[in-house]
Amino acid sequence: MTPQTLNQKLTAAHIPPDLIDKIEQMTAQSKSNPLLVEPTQKYINMMLSLPWDAVTRDTLDLSGARAILDKHHYGMGVIKDRILEYLSVLALKARGQKEGSRAPILFFVGLVGTGKTTLAKAISEAMGRRYARIPFGGMGSALDLRGQSRVHPDAEPGQLIKALIRAGSKNPVVLLDELDRVAESTRADIMGVLVELLDPEQNVRFVDHYLDYPFDLSQVLFIATANNTKNIATAVLDRLEVIQMPSYSDEEKTAIGRDYVFPKQLTATGLSNETLIIASDVWPLIVRPLGFDAGIRTLERTINAVCRKVAREIIEGKSKKVEITKENIKQYLPSEVG
């Protein structure tokens, strides 16, 4: 690639002029040192893939947002109202009004399976923003977020920069998932990086060690989740608005299983409402096959197992249509719901 071609590509990607100068100097140095050719090219490719100026346009229609939230989640009236208030603040900010323009960072806290992650996806869909998830479960180093210096072999950028590349926009919804599950030995360092990420005064010039150049994260919409707040640093909690996710009652699980999960599992397993029917009085047995569960993960696995067994019966020619009743439910329920 000629210097002129490289400059044109870098300019077209809206890379800042001073960074272009730095890259051109790196390229010149690599010509006299073959060992620098591959890492320099890797760095250039990374810079070209970053969304320096790519943004999506927000859709802040509250009635449409409510419809999307209702499509993905049953009930949760208080939480949905809080999300709509949150979107209203963002709408005011978009109009340029200063009062109340800074929306807090939502932090969904609750037991496994209570809908935390899917709420974040629903918010991104409602806003028309792209979505990326960063899992914190087992994260063992702050460098996983911050990136590694290029002086190290096989250095890579951190999860934040990778999330932006996956999203392909500068203003995605980024889910910081399971903040309470980072490795204990490095929790303090990771929380320190989070403080910077979540602070609008600092994240406007976030420096990833691999990029070694400030990147503006101020347009990213962060949402966080955790099972509890026990292991979250106070300085991080100060930047989050905790929203407790309630456990589901059996009645709510019945509605969720029947109206949300079951149709999805029918599609996922190639069945239809004509080939598999579940009697209304069977749902309590499906909802609680092995005792109480706060979330719906077990419910999803149970319904999936029922659908799989019916699909096998149909493929083996044993049935053309199956109706699940109290009399035959036990033969379709999984022996273990793990």
Whether 190 and 224 have beta carbons less than 8 Å apart is answered as no
- CA 59 – CA 313 distance, rounded (Å): 45
Assign 211 to helix, strand or coil: coil
Work out the mean pLDDT of the chain and round it to a whole number: 89
Give 220: exposed, middle or buried? Use CB within 10 Å, 0-12, 13-18, 19+: buried
Q: What is the pLDDT of residues 37-92, one digit of tens each?
A: 999 999 999 999 999 999 999 888 899 999 999 988 888 888 999 999 888 888 88
In the DSSP assignment, the letter for residue 100 is T
Do 99 and 92 contact (CB within 8 A), yes or no?
yes
**CA distances, 84 to each of 65, 90, 137, 323 (Å):** 7, 10, 29, 40
* 224 CB neighbour count, 10 Å cutoff: 29
Q: What's the CATH superfamily of 62-244?
A: P-loop containing nucleotide triphosphate hydrolases (3.40.50.300)
Query: pLDDT tens-digit profile of 135-186?
Result: 999 898 999 999 999 988 889 999 999 999 999 999 999 999 999 999 889 9
CATH C-level class of 250-331: mainly alpha
Give the pLDDT confidence score for residue 115 in this predicted structure. Answer: 86
Whether 100 shows a pLDDT value over 50: the answer reads: no
Max avg pLDDT among 92-101, 108-117, 176-185, 292-301: 176-185
Query: pLDDT, tens digit, for every residue of 243-285?
Result: 998 888 888 889 999 999 999 999 999 999 999 999 999 998 8
CB under 8 Å to 195, separation ≥6 — which residues?
Answer: 202, 233, 235, 236, 239
User: How much is the pLDDT for 285?
Assistant: 87
The pTM score is: 0.82
Domain boundary assignment for the chain: 3-49, 62-244, 250-331
Cβ distance 122 to 259 under 8 Å? Answer: no
How far apart CA 164 and CA 291 sit, in angstroms, is: 41
